[in-house]
Amino acid sequence: MSEWRGIPREEIPWFPTIHEEKCIGCQECITICKNGVLAFDEPSRKSKVVNPYNCVVECRTCARLCPADAISFPEAAEFTAFINARLSV
């Protein structure tokens, strides 16, 4: 996806953040996400974000299904404000 609602995807700050201290290395997030956003880092035995702009805007499935609550996304209010500002230009 190169654009979302007419906004270039690379300009949209929507992608997961892996909280390494919480990640248990189960790789559930990697299994769930079919867009190649995440990969397993062997040295740390943790998941990591490798293709952030492959993330589907507003998808939070990996975070909802993470058994360790180790994944977060931008706050909804901040993201909505960002999108509203961009769409009103």
Spatial separation of the C-alpha atoms in residues 67 and 51, rounded to whole Å: 22
pLDDT tens-digit series, residues 3-12: 898 999 999 9
CB contact at 8 A, 14 and 31: no
Q: Which CATH number covers residue 35?
A: 3.30.70.20
Stated pTM of the model: 0.90
- The answer on pLDDT for 22 being more than 90 is yes
The residues, any chain, with a CB within 8 Å of residue 28's CB and separated by 6 or more, are: 62, 65, 66, 67
The total number of structural domains that make up the chain: 1
- pLDDT averaged over every residue in the chain: 95
CA 10, CA 31: separation in Å to the nearest integer?
Answer: 24
Domain around 16: 3-87
pLDDT digits (tens, 9 = 90+) for 49-65: 999 999 999 999 999 99
Instruction: Specify the higher pLDDT residue, 86 or 16.
Output: 16
Helices (H) and strands (E) counted in the chain, each on its own, are: 3, 6
